[in-house]
Structure 1
Amino acid sequence: MTQQVYLPDDIPAVGKKILTDAGFDVIVGSGRDRDVMKKEGSNANAVLIGTQPFDADIMDAMPNLKVIARNGVGYDAVDVEAATERGIYVVNTPKALSDSVAETAVLELLAISKNLYQDSKAIYDDNWKYRKTHPGRDVAGKTVGILGFGRIGQQVAKKLSGFDVKVIAYDPFAKSTDTVEIVDRDTIFKTSDYVMVHLPALPETEHSIGTAEFKMMKNDAYLINMARGIIIVTSELVDALKNGDIAGAALDVFEEEPLPVTDELVSLENVLLTPHIASNTIETKARMAVDATQDIVRVLHGDQPKSAVNRLDD
């Protein structure tokens, strides 16, 4: 029987071609609802998902499953332990999106510095004078602190190299370079004009940035989070923004996605919000589709995947 690959969301044609050329049936589903996925993927040998939760209950509804491929770096929404117990590989695409996320991170740093969204919105609100009472800030001469100096953090530092800023970073597994000094965690919060979060979502990073960290930050400093919403204590961030403990924040990720329009963050003027778009580009989607589907092919052909996040017993 031909092996089946289930795609709850469609992917670029280049990825589907890799799967069909390998001789698999490709089933494009109708969305991320868990009950829909359980029904549509019931015969799947492989599944390629986004950020939706994928737990033991869903896995058990797909008894032939051999690999769960994740379009992206983070795999916190997948119950990796449950997958491992069931002999299912979990793979991701860690090399496909570093450039794109780094570009978006720098873009958001610049946008929040120049008050770009609010100034643009003011035109549509017929308020040309808004700019006079809401000047932006220059980035040159400032200190940028990067929390997490992996692939993405390193690309952020590289892309900031032409902006005449001092870049420091915190990462227990990284070493200083010619252009980036590795410092302790508190130094990032105490001395940075911009704190950029590029940490993985792990038990030790969950809700690891809150009131204590915001109190350490300068009153005119900004927080930029391009990692995962769960790393920030959102209610405490809202308080810090309201109280003027920090100047502002640029957020691309949230604990609850989609972010409800009634969320308190939406009403704050010193916040730039974007809907998890850091890697949402044509080029990156194609790269992720290629990397994810190639690992699916490897697993279904009985080979080792290149980007497994778990290890299965032989």
Structure 2
Amino acid sequence: MPEPTVVALGRVDPALVEEPLRGKAAFVAQPGPDDLAAAVGAIVRADAVVDRDALDRMPHCRVLARTGVGVDLVDVAEATRRGIAVVVTPDSGSQAVAEGVLGMALYLVKRFGPLHRLVRDGQWARRAEIPVGDLSGAVLGIIGYGRIGRRVGALADAFGMRVLAHDPFTAPPDAVNCPDLGELVAHSDVITLHVPLSDATRHLVDRRFLAAVKPGAVLVNCGRGGLVDLDAVRDALVVGRLSGVGLDVYDPEPAVHHPLFDHPDVLLTPHLMGMSIRAEAATYADAAQGVADVLAGRRPAALANPEWMPTGRAKERTR
């Protein structure tokens, strides 16, 4: 009897999913219509759209495994209605993203970009014109204190930063908790975003938000592109309300050029902070393990639709 088919939705290196799927499913990295029609599962990249039409092309699908945690492009409600588990991999890239946040903060606060250009362009005599900041003693405002937010806080503590954290869903520990978002914004030298994207958080960083920012603050977004109004951010950067902006995420993706991108105090990366070499291997392995778990009738470690249950248990519940 042939092994069941698991397909890639987006670019997936077969070597990274081979071990968890060995002996359980045949993996197809570049599926055609017939492969999709036969597929019982899929490894889903962040830029892959899994809507109702996509699900219609996979009538036997039992599990979608996202390489990451964002399911903005996955119709989770429709997948749940069809009994499809939507696996996420929340732990594999958290440390990598946290390192990316601190790396961007360091680059912007230490003014590495303009200092590099100064030396490159033979303008050594102008070095005193560029003020170099410090992370030690600075205040880091973390908006969203989940797995990644907590790891960012731990790294910031090692730099001697004071951490303030605001989470609209779960209160952070008392030592860092800042229930008033406006207070966090007004006191933070660096602000980093880690809340999910929803109707309530879309364009969280807008003109009103930025009007309350501490002058000269740095903004880092390695969360979701839709959290930020790029027009408002550019205006705040031009007038000096912000001194630097780091972006790893965009809305839409791939990123569409925006005038903000041309500002010399902006640092741009292509949504890769959570995909370091080690994190990438772990993310794909976790996604493939989630697929293997569902195919074996087990509950995966993390789900975007936690109400999902293995088929047998779901049938028992409906009796």
Provide TM-score, normalisation by structure 2: 0.89
> Which of these residues, 166, 172, 177, is aligned with residue 175 of structure 1?
172
Partner AA of 2:212 in structure 1 = M
Partner AA of 1:107 in structure 2 = G
How far apart, CA to CA, are the structure 1 residues paired with 2:142 and 2:27? 40
How far apart, CA to CA, are the structure 2 residues paired with 1:233 and 1:271? 15
How far apart, CA to CA, are the structure 2 residues paired with 1:129 and 1:300? 65
Task: Compute the displacement of 1:151 (Å).
Answer: 0.8
Partner AA of 1:299 in structure 2 = V
Q: Which has the higher mean CA deviation after the structures are superposed, 236-245 or 280-289?
A: 236-245
Q: Which residue of 2 aligns with 1:140?
A: 136
How far apart, CA to CA, are the structure 2 residues paired with 1:57 and 1:38? 13
Q: Which residue of 2 aligns with 1:33?
A: none
Aligned length: 305
Matching of residues 147-166 of structure 1 within 5 Å: 147-166=143-162
> Which of these residues, 22, 36, 43, is aligned with residue 38 of structure 2?
43
CA contact (8 A) 1:146 1:197 kept: yes
How far apart, CA to CA, are the structure 2 residues paired with 1:265 and 1:142? 25
Deviations 1:71-123 (A, max 9, x none): 01211121111111222111100111111111111111111111213333444
Secondary structure of the structure 2 residue equivalent to 1:42: helix
CA contact (8 A) 1:139 1:163 kept: yes
Deviations 1:175-212 (A, max 9, x none): 3254x243321111111111111111222211222000
Q: Which residue of 1 aligns with 2:115?
A: 119
Task: Compute the displacement of 1:228 (Å).
Answer: 0.4
CA contact (8 A) 2:5 2:35 kept: no
Change (3 A) 1:282 1:246: same
Partner AA of 2:301 in structure 1 = K
Change (3 A) 1:109 1:151: same
Task: Compute the displacement of 1:274 (Å).
Answer: 1.1
> Which of these residues, 185, 193, 196, is aligned with residue 181 of structure 2?
185
Q: Which residue of 2 aligns with 1:32?
A: none
Any unmatched runs of 5+ in structure 1?
30-35
Q: Which residue of 1 aligns with 2:234?
A: 238
Deviations 1:112-143 (A, max 9, x none): 11121333344455555564432321122211
CA contact (8 A) 1:295 1:306 kept: yes
Is it true that 1:282 corresponds to 2:277 in the alignment?
Answer: yes
How far apart, CA to CA, are the structure 2 residues paired with 1:246 and 1:175? 26
How far apart, CA to CA, are the structure 2 residues paired with 1:289 and 1:129? 49
Secondary structure of the structure 2 residue equivalent to 1:182: coil
How far apart, CA to CA, are the structure 1 residues paired with 2:129 and 2:231? 28
Is it true that 1:77 corresponds to 2:73 in the alignment?
Answer: yes
Any unmatched runs of 5+ in structure 2?
315-319
Secondary structure of the structure 2 residue equivalent to 1:21: coil
